[in-house]
Chain A
């Protein structure tokens, strides 16, 4: 195991009743690396992400983030929240709070920042995702792309070590996809460690340091984006790419 790896996933197996969803997934993510996780629908991508931040428990195997055993600390939500940030497909902003409060909630309640400091953090992050003019709106007043950028800011407010993205652009209209991907690209450039489930192959090609390809609950192939897209080695990957790139 290389000392610089931030996320270790080793041999994780997960069953829902009789159905094997993850059948021994292993991979590592180095500090500052941006990994794109892809694979056919139902291959277990979402489940894997949910295991990495302890939203889901699993049957065997181990996940550590920055040396912290996630399974052993799953009940310490506040602790994991500061290690792993997550962005969901359908945003899940808190509709009863303003945009600023959505972002400032974590720092104020969990990091115990005084509320002026928490607001300052909120303003700063919202500016970073290009939404400084919308701080006092409610989520329903924003477009999907804007909401997803707020969700990214909300996750960043906990100063996580790694950010997980589960199809962050799948629920968006095409013209809003770019604004979210731009924020993610900038985040990757700033050195954030990221694991992104996405069908945006342009993003995978240009931004990702590595692509991890999942089928039937295990890692089937992994490689540099250039290699993966130009000469995939496994037949499953060839098939998957022909489907995705044909769109």
Chain B
């Protein structure tokens, strides 16, 4: 029995049949052998009688057949649904299609990254909502990652009060529903902060009041041609030099070369920015601020809530990552002479990365979807602008719901793709 079984397993390597697996657990080796034998038998008959088909192809034909059946079934179902929808819409005299995207929206949006007025189209409203979603999610992801890392490191601190504070933060905030936190911050910002005239000032450049957060504005005056041309030439040269240096550098020094290259480019940017760009300081005139960018309270509340809530989860992810690093690594670092802070930065965190990134990708995906809570506090994200106002006004439910779902799918896929690319890069250096 046993040798036969081994043989059968070898000829059936990549078809983990659930039935066979279950019988492994239930009936032990004997019954596996029997199951496999009974499955192998007909194929050997076929081999003797019919035309010779290689076993691999034979198996593939089977799976292709079933995949084909499934595909046909799904397509048929979708066609049936689509047909019914079209009939129903027609019966009720409702229009369908995407032509509404080019029609005038007729509503205003309170916060927008690109200019938008009532005379713009629904299509542009879609873009505004999409950008607002990306903006709030992106800012929250970055802040939550920074805050979460700090709290995760504090969580494993040797200093008991620090570790306790981090524990309270994590346990407190991850166990309160996010919706409540969003509403809490919105109420706090609107009712808890002073009015415009009594704005809290941060160094005279940044102001906080119950109408939002006022930041200095950048206005790029028209760049005179010679400096911008010069900048382009210098930048191109710098990039070329960096690439050459990178290629020539020993692998161990490449990171350093990259840092220097990027540093030089950034320095150039900053230099040009200070030379050509106007930072206009917000100034209070009458009842409002002039010369500033205003981030509305809804945006600030949403970012604060998403950041604080997700940071609690990210802190746990980071802590698990840190604890996954072998104790011997810290000892070796300490024996070499690295103080705890450097050990964390140079030895522990880079190794924790490998463990941290996959769950971090999950958290980002959650954050992105949770940003749709914007609707409840009136921040004009995609769901609010498109699935809300636009749907109400046009009634194109199917098109709008589909487009909105597609956006979240694509954005989630982008986040997942980026993190898995990054993970592959980090993992490659590991093992």
Residues of chain A whose beta carbon lies under 8 Å from any beta carbon of chain B: 53, 55, 77-82, 84-86, 88, 90, 92-98, 100-101, 104-106, 109-110, 115, 119, 135-136, 138, 140, 151, 154-155, 158
From B328, B337, B351, B431, give the contact of A110 (CB < 8 A): B337
Query: Do B430 and A95 touch (CB < 8 A)?
Result: yes
> CA A105 – CA B331 in complex, angstroms?
15
B284 in the interface, Cβ–Cβ < 8 Å? no
Bitwise, B231-262 to A at CB < 8 A (1) or not (0) is: 00000000000000000001111001000000
Query: Do A53 and B336 touch (CB < 8 A)?
Result: no
> CA A140 – CA B429 in complex, angstroms?
10
The 4 closest A-B pairs by CB, nearest first: A81-B337, A92-B332, A86-B335, A92-B328
Query: Do A92 and B252 touch (CB < 8 A)?
Result: no
> CA A93 – CA B431 in complex, angstroms?
13
- A-chain residues with CB within 8 Å of residue B431 when the two chains form the complex: 95, 138, 140
Residues of chain B whose beta carbon lies under 8 Å from any beta carbon of chain A: 250-253, 256, 326, 328-329, 331-340, 342, 346-347, 350-351, 429-431
Query: Do A136 and B337 touch (CB < 8 A)?
Result: no
22 A-B contacts (beta carbon < 8 Å): A53-B335, A77-B334, A77-B338, A81-B336, A84-B335, A86-B335, A88-B335, A92-B326, A92-B332, A94-B347, A95-B430, A98-B251, A98-B252, A106-B336, A106-B337, A109-B342, A115-B253, A135-B252, A136-B250, A136-B252, A151-B332, A158-B336
- A-chain residues with CB within 8 Å of residue B333 when the two chains form the complex: 94
From B256, B331, B335, B430, give the contact of A96 (CB < 8 A): B430
- A-chain residues with CB within 8 Å of residue B347 when the two chains form the complex: 94
Using known A-B contacts A77-B337, A155-B336, determine if residue A96 contacts B351 with beta carbons closer than 8 Å: yes
Say how far A56's CB is from chain B's closest CB, in angstroms.
Answer: 10
Query: Do A55 and B252 touch (CB < 8 A)?
Result: no
- B-chain residues with CB within 8 Å of residue A78 when the two chains form the complex: 337-339
> CA A135 – CA B250 in complex, angstroms?
10
CB-nearest residue of chain A to B354: A96
- B-chain residues with CB within 8 Å of residue A136 when the two chains form the complex: 250-252
Query: Do B331 and A92 touch (CB < 8 A)?
Result: yes
- B-chain residues with CB within 8 Å of residue A97 when the two chains form the complex: 252
Query: Do B429 and A96 touch (CB < 8 A)?
Result: yes
Query: Do B253 and A119 touch (CB < 8 A)?
Result: yes
From A88, A135, A158, give the contact of B328 (CB < 8 A): A88
15 other contacts beyond A96-B351, A96-B429, A115-B253, with CB at 8 A cut-off?
A: A55-B335, A78-B339, A81-B335, A81-B337, A85-B335, A86-B335, A88-B331, A92-B326, A94-B333, A95-B430, A95-B431, A97-B252, A105-B336, A106-B337, A109-B342
- A-chain residues with CB within 8 Å of residue B338 when the two chains form the complex: 77-78, 81, 109-110
> CA A119 – CA B339 in complex, angstroms?
22
- B-chain residues with CB within 8 Å of residue A95 when the two chains form the complex: 351, 430-431
CB-nearest residue of chain B to A85: B335
CB-nearest residue of chain A to B428: A138
> CA A63 – CA B337 in complex, angstroms?
18
Query: Do A154 and B253 touch (CB < 8 A)?
Result: no
Say how far B161's CB is from chain A's closest CB, in angstroms.
Answer: 19
Query: Do A115 and B256 touch (CB < 8 A)?
Result: yes
CB-nearest residue of chain B to A141: B431
> CA A81 – CA B250 in complex, angstroms?
27
- B-chain residues with CB within 8 Å of residue A53 when the two chains form the complex: 335
Query: Do B328 and A104 touch (CB < 8 A)?
Result: no
> CA A110 – CA B339 in complex, angstroms?
10
Query: Do B351 and A80 touch (CB < 8 A)?
Result: no
> CA A78 – CA B333 in complex, angstroms?
10
> CA A97 – CA B351 in complex, angstroms?
10
Say how far A165's CB is from chain B's closest CB, in angstroms.
Answer: 12
Say how far B421's CB is from chain A's closest CB, in angstroms.
Answer: 18
- A-chain residues with CB within 8 Å of residue B336 when the two chains form the complex: 81, 105-106, 110, 154-155, 158
